[in-house]
Amino acid sequence: MRTKTDPSHVVNLSEQIYGFEICGNDFAFNLVCVAVAKKIILGLLRFPEETETEIFGWERLKDIYHESRCHAIAFAPKTSLAVVPKVVTLCAAGADFNLRIFRTDLDQNDTVQILKGHTNYVNDIAWEHDEEFLASVSDDHSCKIWSSAHNFETVTTFCLSSAGMSVRWHPDEPGKVLVAEKKGIIHLYNVRSQQAIMSLESPKVPLMSADWSLHNRLFVTALAGGDVITWDLRRTCGPADVKQIHEDGGRVVRFSPNSEVVYASIGRPDITLKVYTAKSTVPLIESSLKLFGGLSWHHRLPYVAAAYDRKLCFWKVQIK
C-alpha cells in the first residue's frame, strides 16, 4: 500500500499550471514564475523558516501576457530584487516554437524580445551562469546557443540525432554545456571551441530528462524508461547507479541544489512525485499529482515543489 505525502504548503491559483520555475539567484531566491494559459505570473514566496510569524505566504507581483502556451521557463542569473529598480529577466519557450526574453522591474517597465530559430517545440532552456549565453533544446533535433552580448543571435547550433530533452550549463566552468537527447545520448560540449568533450549513453530509452548537480559537478543524472540513472564523470565506462523509480516511465528528474545524493522525479502511474536519496530504496516523499505542471527545488530551503492542476505544492524534505 503506497503512502501519500501531503504537501507542507500550497498556493492556489484560478487557472491550470503548465509550468513554473523558482529563481535560483541569491538575490531573488523566493521569486517564482508560473505559466498558465496566455500569461506568466510572477510571485513571491515566504516560508515559515524565514518569518517571525512562521506562516507560509504568497504574494502575486505581476502578470505578463504570453500569447502561446509556455513549455519551459528559466530565470536569468542576474535577476535581483535587492536593487532599485528591481531587475527580473527570464526566458520562456512557447508552443509557437519561439523563445521570449522578458525583462521587468515589477513596476511599469516591461519589454519582450522574441527569438526565432527553432522549427519545433522547445523542451528546455538554460542560462549560462555568467549570463553570456542562453541554450535551448528542441524536438527539431538541435541545441541552439544564443549570445546575450550580441542581441541573442544564434552563435552555435549543435545538431542532434533525436529530440533534445534537457540542457544544463557546467556549474563552475563557463562555456561547457550538457545536452541530453531522447534516444539516450548525453553530450558535453565546449561552446567556445564548438567541440564535443565526451558523451554518456543511457542503458534505457526514451530519455525524458537530465540534470547536472550544482553541489557536485561530477554527478549527472537522467530519467529514462522509468529509471533514474546517475553517472560519476570520473568513471565514464558506465553509470554509477541505476534505480527503477517509475514503473510506467518518467517525465522529469532534478537534483537537490544542496546535495548530490538527493533527487526528485515525476513519472507514471498517476504522475507521481518521488524524492529519494541515492542509497535508499524507500522514498522520502511520494505523492500522486494526476497532472504534470513542472518540478523545481528551492535553492536555499529544503523544499521541493510540483504543480498539480491549479495548485503549486511545496514539500519539506527532511534529509538526515
Q: Are 137 and 124 in contact (CB under 8 A)?
A: yes
Nearest CA-CA partner of 33 in 67, 62, 68, 69: 62
The domain spans of the chain are 9-316
Place of cell 534505480: 243
In the block, residue with C-alpha cell 507521481: 272
> How do strand 57-65 and strand 70-75 relate by DSSP bridges?
unpaired
Q: What number is the average pLDDT over the span 281-307?
A: 95
Strand spans (E) along 76-141: 88-94, 99-104, 110-115, 122-127, 133-138
Helices (H), 17-153: none
What count of other Cβ atoms lies within 10 Å of the Cβ of residue 57?
15
Confidence of residue 116 (pLDDT cuts 50, 70, 90): very high
Say how far apart CA 190 and CA 177 lie, in whole Å: 7
Q: With left for phi above 0 and alpha for psi between -120 and 50, is residue 14 left, alpha or beta?
A: alpha
What is the spatial distance between Cα 100 and Cα 136, in angstroms, rounded to a whole number?
12
All 3 cell numbers of residue 12? 492556489
Contact call for residues 20 and 297 (beta carbons, < 8 A): no
Q: What are phi and psi of 319, to 5 degrees?
A: -105, 120
- Other Cβ atoms less than 10 A from the Cβ of 194: the count is 12
Residue 12: φ, ψ to 5° = -100, 125
Confidence band for 319, pLDDT divided at 50, 70 and 90: confident
Task: Specify the CATH number of the domain 9-316.
Answer: 2.130.10.10
**Segment 2-53, tens digit of pLDDT:** 458 999 999 999 999 999 999 999 999 999 999 999 999 999 999 999 877 8
- 318 exposure class (CB count in 10 Å sphere: 0-12, 13-18, 19+): exposed
Strand order in the sheet with 99-104: 70-75, 88-94, 99-104, 110-115
CB atoms within 10 A of CB 161: 9
Pair 315, 42: CB distance under 8 Å:
no
Flag whether pLDDT at 235 surpasses 90: no
Contact assessment for residue 223 and residue 267, using Cβ atoms and an 8 Å cutoff:
yes
311-316 vs 142-147, strand pairing mode: unpaired
pLDDT at 1: 34
Cβ atoms within 10 Å, residue 238: 12
Give pLDDT, residue 4: 83
Q: CA-CA distances (angstroms) from residue 291 to 165, 247, 270, 285?
A: 20, 17, 8, 17
Q: Give the closest residue to 135 by CA, choosing from 104, 166, 89.
A: 166
pLDDT of residue 73: 98
The predicted pLDDT at position 153 comes to 97
pLDDT band at 280 (very low <50, low <70, confident <90, very high): confident
Pick from 66, 37, 43, 68: which is nearest to 56 by CA?
43
Bridge partners, 57 (sequence order): 46
* CA separation for the pair 153, 144 (Å, rounded): 10
- pTM of the shown model: 0.95
Tens digit of pLDDT for each residue in 181-233? 999 999 999 999 999 999 999 999 999 999 999 989 999 999 999 999 999 99
Sheet with 9-12, side-by-side order of all strands? 9-12, 311-316, 303-308, 295-297
